Amino acid sequence: MGEEFRSVQLIDGDGEFNFPGVEHFMKATRLAECGLSYAVVSIMGPQSSGKSTLLNHLFQTDFREMDAFRGRSQTTKGIWLAKCVGIDPCTVVMDLEGTDGRERGEDDTAFEKQSALFALAISDIVLINMWCHDIGREQAANKPLLKTVFQVMMRLFSPRKTTLLFVIRDKTKTPLEHLEPVLREDIQKIWDSVSRPDAQKDTALSEFFNLEVTALSSYEEKEEQFENQVAELRQRFAHSIAPGGLAGDRRGVVPASGFSFSAQQIWKVIRENKDLDLPAHKVMVATVRCEEIANEKLSHLTSDERWLELEEAVQSGPVSGFGKKLGSILDAYMSECIKEGSSMTNKAPSEFKEIFNSMPPRYDTEAIYFDEGVRTAKRKQLESKALHLVHPTYQALLGHLRTKFLEKFKNDMEDALKSRKGFASSVRECSQTSILEFDQGCADAAISQADWDASRVREKLSRDIDAHAHSVQNAKMSELIRRYECLFEAAGKDTWASIRNLHKHEAENALSEFSSSLSGFELDKVAFDEKITNLKEFARSVVEKKAREEAGKVLIRMKDRFSAVFSQDKDSMPRVWTGKEDVRKITKNARAEALKLLSVMAAIRLDENLDKIESTLLSTLMDAPIAQERKPVTSTDPLASSTWEEVSPSNTLITPVQCKSLWRQFKTETEYSVTQAISAQEAHRRGNSVLPPPWAILAIAILGFNELMVLLRNPLYLLVIFVVFLLFKALWVQLDVSSLFQNGILSGFLSLSTRFLPTVMDILRRLADEGQGQPHVPQNPQHPPLDALSFRRDSQRQAQLSNPVPDASSSSSTLSSPRSGVECPATSHMVDADTEASSTA
């Protein structure tokens, strides 16, 4: 017999539930795949009444049977479970431990009652095995046990309807038609004698049980007849759960996938002697199993290769068909099982059709037989968790779409502006196109399982488009303003002509776009012309506003123009003042350029009217002497007026009086640059002359001739001067004159007068000691030891040998204070010089 048909102990003799064994049994028999299409059959009866033998012949199971040759004893301990062979639907049979057994004794009947109640709670059909000769007896036929079980059954709020099939063993000559009424009457008496709650006092036995009776001949005496009767009885178990079958009207069936958990929980409640609420138990089993199924599906979704590939693809950019792919993946774990050829499979992408058939069962498939309320609630939780898992990827996709279509808007906007389309129309068309394609991308990414809102991302895209359009508009306006500024800075003869052309071009473009926009409003001609006129006036006001701003900076512009012309040559290179340049001419040209700029900025010339501002300024300010410029303004002065000829006051930026004042200030502030240039030329000339002036050479030759001849005739004077310098330097260092005068001149002289003579005497004494070759004994006890002096002296001699010609600074630097005890080599040079002088004399 195969492993799937082997029996397994469900509950042992001590009442312990064998959950691992039941799980293994369910996997071997594939019971969980049956859904609601399965039946549970159990058998109860006295010990050694042939229960296991009947089940083995009836269902072809392998329950252990009693060996009659070894005596009558307990064979089945606890409750055993096996799968019936060759019966449809799948039927599971339980073999219960026999009642009234010698092994448990007279008083230990708790397990009998518990196992009987357990069988009634989970079985669809209960076989009650009884002897034919026990019918009509009060204490036989399991009557006490049935009474106890019926009493316990009253505690069930809504028990499942169970079929009680009484199997009369070793049938005698008494016909079954006479035995069955007696048995039914006994069962009804037991039911009527059971105390019931008020709510169930009038409840009939048929509301709880279906009573069926059958009889079998003796297995030992009439084996062949017994086999035939068992075969006929076996036919009644075929399609037992169909309408009209033995268990056709059963209620409260637990799905097969929850059988092990349900049986374990029911046995736990029975053993704890608690009230067994089957409806609540059914909900509890549905809750646990549906949650297990949901967690299993979510775990499979998390590790699904298609989902992982889709998630990775989204990280790098938009994915076409994202919504269909993701929806198919979610449906594969949640919706009803999809078979080949169904409408849902036909709608799914072709690459998923083969995968659907190899997928594990969906949530709806596995949980379909559990309580509807629990199943629906757990499905919603599974949907929520699954959508929470995939939603970040959806958001990332929307982010890619926003970036993509924002870039598209930028590129389309740039191309439209290059093709010289109107700015406003370009923004409008490109914006509509990008938003429309973004909406299409969002629709492609949507899934049927969720109503995700992409409005926030859409609004952000719209804001980004508006921000970019605004930045481009500002850039264009800035560019336009810079063009005006460059024209004003150049300020040549063609400045206002260029401004008029630029103003005309931009105004015509704006008017064209504005006219196209207004045409959709169907305005009358008066209103249309009024709005066009307002736009023209606005365009003119922009130019006038910028012109007035630049007119306020005219003095700075004039100085910049003067500096550019004055400080740079024709090649725009910095000018070097070598003395060959004509500063006066350069200054005149630079001022003339600055005056031209002033004439350009003096008035607005958008109407192409001719004026004489430039000629007036040139003739009055450039050709007139300085004294005339500084004269008070008179009536004959062309710049005495506050208006220009042929220029309206509204177009006047700088009045003639203001021009004269600005020119005077300009010349004052630029005069320094001219003076600096002249000074640079003079400095360059002086720097290039190698010899002093002739008069200086002549004066030196006449006044210094005698002194020069004296030094040349007697070089001893040079040596004396050098020795005096060294002595003075030594006294300066020894006395530390600079520090003496830090506290004031008077205190410095007093300190110098007190220390001068001792210092001179000390120097002379040291010189005398050096001349006699005797070591000088320092008077100051703080002088360093002799070893230090000799070491320093040797170091100085080595330095003199390496550099035999010391300069004055190095000689004087060896002088030290008599307090420090450091010898003074400079004095030795002085003594040698005196000795040499005396020998020469």
Give the residue-averaged pLDDT of 234-258: 88
Edge-to-edge strand ranges of the sheet holding 162-169: 8-11, 79-83, 90-96, 38-44, 125-131, 162-169, 209-215
Alpha helices by DSSP H, 359-371: 363-367
Give the residue-averaged pLDDT of 658-681: 89
The per-residue pLDDT for 21 is: 92
Give the residue-averaged pLDDT of 378-405: 90
Q: How confident is the model at residue 734 (pLDDT cuts 50, 70, 90)?
A: confident
Give the residue-averaged pLDDT of 460-486: 74
Give yes or no for a contact between 646 and 614, defined as CB atoms under 8 angstroms apart.
no
Pairwise pLDDT comparison (253 vs 160), residue with the higher score: 253
Closest CA to 539 of 477, 470, 593: 477
Long-range contacts of 432-438 (CB under 8 A, 24+ apart): 433/408, 433/409, 434/405, 434/406, 434/408, 434/409, 434/461, 434/465, 435/405, 435/461, 435/462, 435/465, 437/405, 437/408, 438/401, 438/402, 438/405
Give yes or no for a contact between 81 and 9, defined as CB atoms under 8 angstroms apart.
yes
**pLDDT above 90 (res 336):** no
Task: Write down the pTM of the prediction.
Answer: 0.48
The per-residue pLDDT for 812 is: 34
The per-residue pLDDT for 82 is: 94
Give yes or no for a contact between 463 and 435, defined as CB atoms under 8 angstroms apart.
no
Give the residue-averaged pLDDT of 235-258: 88
Lowest mean pLDDT among 80-89, 642-651, 679-688, 801-810: 801-810
Q: How confident is the model at residue 106 (pLDDT cuts 50, 70, 90)?
A: low
The per-residue pLDDT for 829 is: 37
Q: How confident is the model at residue 356 (pLDDT cuts 50, 70, 90)?
A: very low
Known binding residue 563? Answer is: no
Of 325-339, 398-412, 672-686, which has the strongest mean pLDDT? 398-412
Give the residue-averaged pLDDT of 525-549: 77
Reading phi first (left if > 0) and then psi (alpha if -120 to 50, else beta), residue 105 is in left
Known binding residue 425? Answer is: no
Give the residue-averaged pLDDT of 46-59: 88
**pLDDT above 80 (res 479):** no
Please tell me the distance from the alpha carbon of residue 587 to that of residue 38, in angstroms, as a whole number: 116
**pLDDT above 90 (res 43):** yes
Taken as a whole, the chain contains a residue count of: 841
CB burial of residue 811 (10 Å; 0-12, 13-18, 19+):
buried
Give the residue-averaged pLDDT of 292-308: 88
pLDDT tens string 685-725:
777 765 666 777 777 777 676 776 776 677 787 788 888 88
Cβ atoms < 10 Å from Cβ of 322 = 21
The per-residue pLDDT for 693 is: 67
Give the residue-averaged pLDDT of 59-79: 74
The per-residue pLDDT for 208 is: 82
Known binding residue 404? Answer is: no
Q: What phi and psi values does residue 158 have, to the nearest 5 degrees?
A: -145, 75
**pLDDT above 50 (res 823):** no
Amino acid sitting at position 18:
N
Report the percent of the chain where pLDDT is more than 90.
Answer: 14
On the question of a cis peptide bond just before residue 89, with omega within 30 degrees of 0, the verdict is yes
**pLDDT above 70 (res 625):** no
Of 147-151, 353-357, 791-795, which has the strongest mean pLDDT? 147-151
Q: How confident is the model at residue 627 (pLDDT cuts 50, 70, 90)?
A: very low
**pLDDT above 90 (res 355):** no
Give yes or no for a contact between 90 and 123, defined as CB atoms under 8 angstroms apart.
no
Q: How confident is the model at residue 392 (pLDDT cuts 50, 70, 90)?
A: very high
Closest CA to 101 of 72, 127, 62: 72
Beta strands per DSSP E along 38-118: 38-44, 79-83, 90-96
**pLDDT above 70 (res 274):** no
Known binding residue 812? Answer is: no
The per-residue pLDDT for 278 is: 59
- Token readout for 586 is 């350069």
The per-residue pLDDT for 816 is: 36
Q: What is the distance of C-alpha 588 from the center of its chain? A: 66
Give the residue-averaged pLDDT of 493-509: 72
Cβ atoms < 10 Å from Cβ of 381 = 15
Known binding residue 46? Answer is: yes
**pLDDT above 50 (res 227):** yes
Of 2-11, 135-144, 167-176, which has the strongest mean pLDDT? 167-176
Residue whose entry in the numeric block shows the structure tokens 């990332």: 396
- Token readout for 434 is 């990008």
Known binding residue 48? Answer is: yes
Q: What's the whole-number average pLDDT of the chain?
A: 77
The per-residue pLDDT for 84 is: 93
Give the residue-averaged pLDDT of 740-744: 76
Q: Which residues contact 64 (CB under 8 A, 6 or more apart)?
A: 52, 75, 76
The per-residue pLDDT for 342 is: 37
Closest CA to 35 of 204, 241, 309: 241
The per-residue pLDDT for 393 is: 92
Query: Percent helix, strand, coil in the chain (nearest 5)?
Result: 65, 5, 30
Q: First and final CA of the chain: distance in angstroms?
A: 150
**pLDDT above 50 (res 343):** no
Reading phi first (left if > 0) and then psi (alpha if -120 to 50, else beta), residue 773 is in left
Amino acid sitting at position 130:
M
Of 19-23, 192-196, 825-829, which has the strongest mean pLDDT? 19-23
Closest CA to 170 of 127, 226, 125: 226
Lowest mean pLDDT among 175-184, 371-380, 486-495: 486-495
Query: 754-783: buried (b, 16+ CB within 10 Å) or exposed (e) per residue?
Result: eeeeebeebbeebbeebeeeeebebeeeeb
Report the percent of the chain where pLDDT is more than 70.
Answer: 75
Known binding residue 51? Answer is: yes
Give yes or no for a contact between 226 and 218, defined as CB atoms under 8 angstroms apart.
yes
Alpha-carbon Rg for the chain in angstroms: 62
The per-residue pLDDT for 834 is: 41
Give the residue-averaged pLDDT of 241-249: 88
Known binding residue 50? Answer is: yes
Residue whose entry in the numeric block shows the structure tokens 């792919």: 325
Pairwise pLDDT comparison (727 vs 235), residue with the higher score: 235
- Token readout for 44 is 């109860």
Please tell me the distance from the alpha carbon of residue 464 to that of residue 472, in angstroms, as a whole number: 12
Pairwise pLDDT comparison (632 vs 576), residue with the higher score: 576
Pairwise pLDDT comparison (197 vs 174), residue with the higher score: 174
Alpha helices by DSSP H, 272-362: 278-302, 305-316, 322-334, 343-347, 353-358
Closest CA to 95 of 171, 60, 43, 56: 43
Q: How confident is the model at residue 819 (pLDDT cuts 50, 70, 90)?
A: very low
**Axis-axis angle for helices 305-316, 322-334 (nearest 10):** 160
Closest CA to 638 of 608, 609, 614, 662: 614
